[in-house]
Structure 1
Amino acid sequence: MTGLEYGSEYSVVQQKLDNAPISSVHRKINMLIAGGMFIDGINLYMLSPILALFVVSGFSNVNHNANILFCNFLGLAIGSIVSGVVADRLGRQKMYQINLFVFGFASIIAALMPNVVWFTVFRFIIGLALGGEIITGYSTLAEFVPPRRRGVNNNLLNAVVSIGQPVSAFVGLALLPTVGWRSMFIVVGILGLVMWALRKTLPESPRWLEKNGYITLATTIADGISNGESLRSIREKVKGIGRDTEGTHSSAVKKKLGFAQLFSGKLIKRTIIAILLQCVQLCVVFGFTSWVPTMFVSAHFTLAHSLYYTAVMGLGLPIGGLVGVFWSDSLGRKAVMVGSGILGCAFGVLYGITLIHGGSPVVILLLGFLTEVTIMAFGGVSISTYLPELFPTEVRVTGTGLAVAIGRVASAVFPYAVVAVLHHYGVEWVFGMIAFVLAIGVVTALFGEETNKRSLEELDREVLSI
């Protein structure tokens, strides 16, 4: 099904959303979601050069850095689960705003912490908010965008988030040696609160509203999107239709899906595939990017050279995200994940060998750049587009949050494996381990089903036997 023709089993709201022409309202929704996630991406990725600075300045050491990463990923995991459940119960928009508000204030407070222990505590709180923001953003956008453009829009969102890595690296290169890391956290926190204020105009997902019985609200928003109206116009129309006054609520709601349904019937296969893919992509992407500056320092590069190399290589992340933009809709989700995963394994191993054996700076930069392009192409399609498509609307954010949360737990443990391999076998074996994990992801993707250009409701019906 292309999403252009529907039978009677599809509601008017679903048809309007899937047949809507791409207009300014889609672009503004995309921008509002992307704005918050871009700031989150800067905060997420700027931890990497800051950890390298911590080691050089004596504020922390490699073992303490592993603790910081553990607590950061643990916060991301818990935040993903809690936000997923709340977003499916109370709505995407409410949870989205709460996460960004907590993120902004916690970032500012983290900048004021006197030692590594207190910094770790607030990094955990930041992780809670970041975990919820990321999974809610991708799921929400997927529910607004027509099937024919879902791959482009969601992967473009991922590319915007990925820009946070080179931006944070270049900003770190310019500011860390002079004004220090605290100013970076304060600026990012303030930007987060500004975006929190701007994003109050973001409407609730019509799909979520319809599934929860708010038919009038859902239809009004879907009509506005279908007609290409502005967000302000849509907001004015829904002001007088409060959820408390929705007359069809009690009669329209079907039996709700719960957490347990993720592991029952036909849905269990998708849940397992989603979990495995997120374990792989999060360990690989963050296992590589988080440790690159430290690897350079371990290979006797200066901090300045480490930050410079990291910044240049980091340009590969948004470019990797653009791979999904250009090809996930034309070639399909699986083809992009499998192809980029295989290339990522090869480039990663070559990069590790070249780095430890003193290859030329140009070769090191090129291989590192290509590694980041390919692993982000795999990870970007996996988390931004494929993951939200696997779960029904009733448990979309819950399922997405669960898969990402388990992936975060794996990512929290992964730094300790990196430290052990680094100490006992050397830098090149770290990259060999990362390549092996990525190969597991390639095999997992082969067992998944193709979701490209298919209505979310069609995908829902396959596992719910509706």
Structure 2
Amino acid sequence: MPGLVLVPALTVLLPTAGISADPENIGWYGQISAAVFLLGWGFAFIWGPIADRFGRKPAMMASILMYGVFTALAGISTNLWEWNAFRFLAAIGIGGEWAMAGTLLAEVIPERVRERFGGLMHSAAYFGVLAISIVYLLFGSELGWRGMFFVGGIPAFAVFLIRRTTPEPPRWQDRSAKLVQQSFWQPVKEVLSGEYRSRTVGNLLLLVVCVIGLWAGATYVPAAMNTLCAQAGYDHDTTVRLASLSSMTVAVFTILGCFVVPRLAARAGRRGALATLFALMIVGIVGAYGLAYPLHSIGLTFAFLPVLGLGGASFAVFTIWLPEQYPTRMRATAFAFTTTFSRWVAAGGTFLIGYGIHATGSLTIPLSLTAVVFALGIGVVRLAPETRGAPLPD
């Protein structure tokens, strides 16, 4: 959702700080906001030790509640400081959702279908993006960016359903008596121990690549479309519709990619699947930002969005892969640690992207250069452990 409302929100909030809301400033402060969000996401690592100590279910409920409440509060922001503060706190919540849900799913789903459900679960996040895009398409003009943040807070009510219907994994329950006696930080120490240190660092690096691609690619698609529409002289309603359709296109193809990931991971292995998706991101980024955007072509941009969407399913590989690399006593911590601290590293990258946009006055060069990160990522993939066919470790 931030990509959809970035331009209209900053158009309102930048002048309150005495800053002109021109495309260059929106690109610069938008990237700063993205970096702040990633920093908040990095603090979400705390949900891992909480889940390993007190259970997956309460940690997941708390993270969802935190995300929903502070997302809604972002809709009442009156200045940049408030907006970034609320989004920072919302990021701490959303950062825990993926790690908690991925850990819980891996531990409760039977082994024979665990791989398949890992991809399906991750598609749920993009169904949410698609739903928000549809709401923005149909009601964006009436709701405005503030109303969209209120809609984004609706997931907070899911905690009531989770409390009634979601079981605590038996794997964790069988070890809970021992786990509650250990140090709260013991799982963190083990994740960084000699036995697991190299794979943890490798996962961090690969997730940094994914995050930079997510923010440089999918998040800036609506912003790019807003700029292209302005250059074409389109009215506000047409711009809203095209920005929504661009986000919807990426979301639909990412959902399709999530459905394909389990089969791809089974055939090509976890490493092969991730390398394939990284290659798609290179094609999508170069095509959308290096070719279509400087040509001011809305049609050509839409032609490359499906490729960006499919490549964006790379996160689904980790939903399957990360639980297979760590035992139950530290699984939630490892999942949260790698998927959240990677945001801190990526925050520096997104800040550089923002500086590049501000310095060049365009999205073209800074975003096109992120394709290099994916090329490096393909090389790092070869160093990661392959776990295809291995059962979930106890």
Pair 1:122 & 2:58 matched:
no
Question: How far apart in 2 are the matches of 1:321 and 1:258?
Answer: 29
- Distance change >3 Å, CA 344–CA 160, structure 1 → 2: same
1:431 to 361, 367, 380: 367
For 2:40, the equivalent position in structure 1 comes to: 75
Q: Give me the whole-angstrom Cα distance separating, in 1, the residues matched to 2:296 and 2:156.
A: 44
Per the alignment, residue 6 of structure 2 pairs with 51
> Against the structure 1 CA distance between its residues 338 and 348, is the aligned structure 2 distance closer, same or farther, given a 3 Å change threshold?
same
Specify which of 339, 347, 366 is matched with residue 404 of structure 1. Answer: 339
Aligned mates of 1:310, 1:99 — CA distance in 2? 25
Shift of 1:129: 1.0
Percent identity reads: 21
1:245-284 matches, cutoff 5 A: 257-284=186-213
Q: Give the conservation status (yes or no) of the 8 Å contact 1:163–1:317.
A: no
Stretches of 4+ aligned residues off by more than 6 angstroms: none
Q: Structure 1 pair 104/419, CA: closer, same or farther in 2 (3 Å)?
A: closer
How far did residue 56 of structure 1 move? 4.2
Deviations 1:316-353 (A, max 9, x none): 22122122133223432122111221232123212223
Decide which of 150, 155, 160 is 2:114's aligned counterpart.
Answer: 150
Question: What is the deviation of 1:442?
Answer: 1.5
State the partner residue of 2:390.
Answer: 454
CA distance in 1, matches of 2:280, 2:245: 25
Q: 2:291 is aligned with what amino acid?
A: T
Report whether the alignment pairs 1:207 with 2:171: yes
Deviation at 1:277, TM superposition (A): 1.2
Does 2:308 match 1:308? no
In structure 1, the residue matched to 2:128 is 164
Question: Aligned partner of 1:326: which letter?
Answer: R
Which digits, 9 at most, give the CA deviation of each residue in 1:373-408, with x for residues without a partner?
A: 12x2323213x1112222221111111111112211
Distance 1:345 1:193, change over 3 A: closer
AA at the equivalent of 1:356: Y
Quote how far apart the aligned CAs of 1:298 are: 4.0
Is the aligned partner of 1:140 residue 2:76? no
Task: Provide, for residues 125-177 of structure 1, a one-character-per-residue CA deviation record: whole Å limited to 9, x for no partner.
Answer: 11111111121111111111233322210111111112222322232233222
Deviation at 1:48, TM superposition (A): 0.8
Match in the other structure for 1:418: 353
Q: Find the aligned partners of 2:87 and 2:46 in 1 and give their Cα distance.
A: 17
Q: Which of 343, 349, 355 pairs up with 2:280?
A: 343
Matched, 1:66 2:28: no
Relative to the length of structure 2, the TM-score reads 0.86
8 Å contact from structure 1 (residues 283, 410) kept in 2: no
CA RMSD of aligned residues (A): 2.6
Please tell me whether the aligned partners of residues 151 and 452 of structure 1 are also in contact (alpha carbons under 8 angstroms): no
Q: Distance in 2 between matches of 1:318 and 1:78?
A: 27
1:270 Cα shift? Answer: 1.2
- Aligned residue type for 2:160: A
Matched, 1:102 2:71: no
Match of 1:334 among 253, 265, 271: 271
Contact 1:147 1:455 in 2 (8 A): yes
With structure 1 as the length reference, what TM-score do the two structures score? 0.74
* Cα distance between partner residues in 1 of 2:193 and 2:152: 42
Counterpart CA distance in 2 for 1:389 and 1:417 is 34
Distance 2:385 2:27 in 1: 41
- Worse-superposed segment, 390-399 or 422-431: 422-431
- In 1, the alpha carbon distance for the partners of 2:294 and 2:3 equals 23
Residue pair 1:150, 1:453 contacting (<8 A) in 2 also: no
Instruction: Summarize deviations over 1:270-312 as a string: whole Å, max 9, x none.
Output: 1111111111111111221112222234443553333433333
Q: What corresponds to 2:18 in structure 1?
A: none
> In 2, are the aligned partners of 1:287 and 1:414 still within 8 Å (CA)?
no
Greater Cα offset, 86-95 or 340-349: 340-349
1:90 equivalenced with 2:41 (yes/no): no
Residues 347, 48 of structure 1: CA spacing in aligned structure 2 closer, same or farther, 3 A cutoff? closer
Report deviation, 1:414: 2.7
Unaligned regions of 5+ residues in structure 2, if any? 15-20
The residue that corresponds to 1:381 in the other structure is 317
Please tell me the residue identity of whatever aligns with 1:343.
L
Structure 2 residue matching 1:166: 3-state secondary structure:
helix
* The structure with more radius of gyration: 1
Query: What amino acid is the match of 2:322?
Result: L
Amino acid at match of 1:287: A
Task: Find the partner of 2:291 among 331, 337, 354.
Answer: 354
1:84 Cα offset (Å): 0.8
Question: How far apart in 1 are the matches of 2:28 and 2:283?
Answer: 29
- Report if the CA contact (8 A) 2:216-2:367 is conserved: no
